[in-house]
Amino acid sequence: MPNPTAAILVIGDEILSGRTREANAHHLAGELTRVGIDLKEVRVVADDEAAIIAALNALRATHTHVFTSGGIGPTHDDITSDAVAAAFGVGIGVRADARELLESMFAAKGVAMNEAQLRMARIPDGATLIVNALSGAPGFSIENVHVMAGVPSIFRAMVETLLPRLERGTPRVSREVRFEVGEGRIAERLGALAAEFPDLSIGSYPFAENGIHGTNIVVRGTDPARVAEVVARLEAAR
Amino acid sequence: MPNPTAAILVIGDEILSGRTREANAHHLAGELTRVGIDLKEVRVVADDEAAIIAALNALRATHTHVFTSGGIGPTHDDITSDAVAAAFGVGIGVRADARELLESMFAAKGVAMNEAQLRMARIPDGATLIVNALSGAPGFSIENVHVMAGVPSIFRAMVETLLPRLERGTPRVSREVRFEVGEGRIAERLGALAAEFPDLSIGSYPFAENGIHGTNIVVRGTDPARVAEVVARLEAAR
């Protein structure tokens, strides 16, 4: 059976302006590889309702899972939850269990919750909460869309709650062989190997390090024996 | 007149597997902000011809410019140039001027160029070369699509050649005000300001630092006086 597939949708003006370097997609990419869910696409869009809805609807129709990051805080620019509700055509409102989580967090800090903060308890109808260990504000899953925070530490805590709930695929084994020659010098042999092992992905990544122009070859696939065979062939050719 | 818009298309399995953390989109995002081209979207897709063509055709139809990164080297997994030619429905072949650039590079290194390396001189019909200072292998522009290397140093060199050729917009001024309270505490005032200044983008970014939970407010817009007005209002409210 083929592995489940995934897309990540990152939402936030600060990424597109170059102010902030995105970190969550890279983290989740590694986690998905570990559990055998094949990440096929990442998109970054602005804090713009129409852009979020269009991307969500395109991605959720074509992938097993869509993971979003960003836009679920208490301020006016946090519009992800509303955009998700609109994309699914469902209602959205403050939910009792989400409100309780928030109230407990603020009570523990000894402060009262205000109206703006209560916005973080607004959850689209029919969603399941993604509770996390770091913040009282939950994420949520609705059908195959999983909505998480943009703050990297909270995003990671939500991924930790969420991933064990999802069906795993067969993790891809990945092995790397280092050549101390440029990729052009080994391109022909690599192409022949790739044609002989069409079930594997053989990637070629040039590097420059201490004056050496070399190439890392990454061999990936779900069958460890096939990956090992290609690695042995590459090592013999070095 | 509204600013030109842009999308970045990053091509490469290594980003989606989590092996490599993407760097080029973040660099170009900052450069585009500087020249007044509004980056609206970033996509990352695999080394997969159908995925590249679909993303290219969607993005080039909706943005003034599309910038691509990755997949123009000499190996079998470098399929971007062919995918671009297919997306535009034009031919592709080794071009004399691109071949000369490559030959000069290899001659300077004192080595002969092989067949695989000659692949880097394959340019879609009607394209303009993006020559760069670091590598003999050129990128190219075809209509509103600008195709560049994935290796970060070479990508940057190509951006340096390319950007002066493009029409600039009005750069957005960006200013930041730091609050040492969580964003929930200032959300209401921010929302009122955002409603009063709809021409500006007012972003709210929580941070945690030395035990302080604070918020950076980023005010962006093309009119420096309007940005300064909001910054003054925020500073007075601190």
Q: Please compute the mean of the pLDDT values over residues A207-230 and round it to a whole number.
A: 93
Chain B residue numbers touching A21 (CB-CB < 8 A):
26
Whether B46 shows a pLDDT value over 90: the answer reads yes
Q: Which of A14, A113, A135, A200 has the most B C-beta neighbours within 10 Å, making it the best mutation to test the interface with B?
A: A14
- Closest chain A residue to B76 measured between Cα atoms? A191
Residue A208 has what pLDDT?
Answer: 84
Pairwise CA distance, residues A85 & A108, whole Å: 30
In degrees, rounded to 5, the angle at the alpha carbon of residue A145 between the alpha carbons of residues A144 and A149 is 150
Contact A16 B29 (CB under 8 A): yes
pTM above 0.90, yes or no: yes
Whether A213 shows a pLDDT value over 90: the answer reads no
Chain A residue numbers touching B172 (CB-CB < 8 A):
17
- Closest chain A residue to B13 measured between Cα atoms? A203
Residue B237 has what pLDDT?
Answer: 87
A–B interface: beta-carbon pairs under 8 A: 189
Distance from CA of B122 to the nearest CA of A (A): 15
**Using one digit for the tens of pLDDT, what is the confidence trace for A5-44?**
999 999 999 999 999 999 999 999 999 999 999 999 999 9
Contact B75 A45 (CB under 8 A): no
Residue A195's pLDDT band (cuts 50, 70, 90): very high
Contact B116 A73 (CB under 8 A): no
Query: In chain B, what are the domains?
Result: 5-165 (3.40.980.10), 173-237 (3.30.70.600)
Distances (CA, A) of B47 to A66, A120, B16, B71, B77: 20, 38, 10, 7, 7
Residue B60 has what pLDDT?
Answer: 98
Contact B17 A116 (CB under 8 A): no
**Using one digit for the tens of pLDDT, what is the confidence trace for B155-177?**
999 999 999 999 999 999 999 99
Chain A residue numbers touching B50 (CB-CB < 8 A):
none
Q: Please compute the mean of the pLDDT values over residues A157-169 and round it to a whole number.
A: 97
Distance from CA of A4 to the nearest CA of B (A): 14
Whole-number average pLDDT of chain B: 96
Pairwise CA distance, residues B75 & B73, whole Å: 6
Whether B57 shows a pLDDT value over 90: the answer reads yes
**Using one digit for the tens of pLDDT, what is the confidence trace for A135-153?**
889 999 999 999 999 999 9
- Spell out a b/e string for A50-74, using b for 16 or more CB atoms within 10 Å of the CB, else e: ebbbebbebbbeebbbbbbbbbbbb
Nearest beta carbon to residue A116 from set B15, B78, B188? B188
Whether A209 shows a pLDDT value over 90: the answer reads no
Chain A residue numbers touching B153 (CB-CB < 8 A):
208
Whole-number average pLDDT of chain A: 96
Contact B77 A208 (CB under 8 A): no
Q: Distance from CA of residue A186 to its chain's centroid?
A: 33
Residue A180's pLDDT band (cuts 50, 70, 90): very high
Distance from CA of A75 to the nearest CA of B (A): 5
**Using one digit for the tens of pLDDT, what is the confidence trace for A56-104?**
999 999 999 999 999 999 999 999 999 999 999 999 999 999 999 999 9
Residue B145's pLDDT band (cuts 50, 70, 90): very high
- Closest chain A residue to B173 measured between Cα atoms? A17
Between B158 and A182, where is the model more confident?
Answer: B158
**Using one digit for the tens of pLDDT, what is the confidence trace for B198-234?**
999 999 999 888 888 899 999 999 999 999 999 999 9
Chain B residue numbers touching A153 (CB-CB < 8 A):
208
Chain B residue numbers touching A20 (CB-CB < 8 A):
205
- Closest chain A residue to B218 measured between Cα atoms? A14
Amino acid at A70: G
Chain B residue numbers touching A120 (CB-CB < 8 A):
184
For residues B149 and B155, is the Cβ–Cβ distance under 8 A?
yes
Contact B47 A188 (CB under 8 A): no
Strand B38-45 relative to strand A38-45, pairing = antiparallel
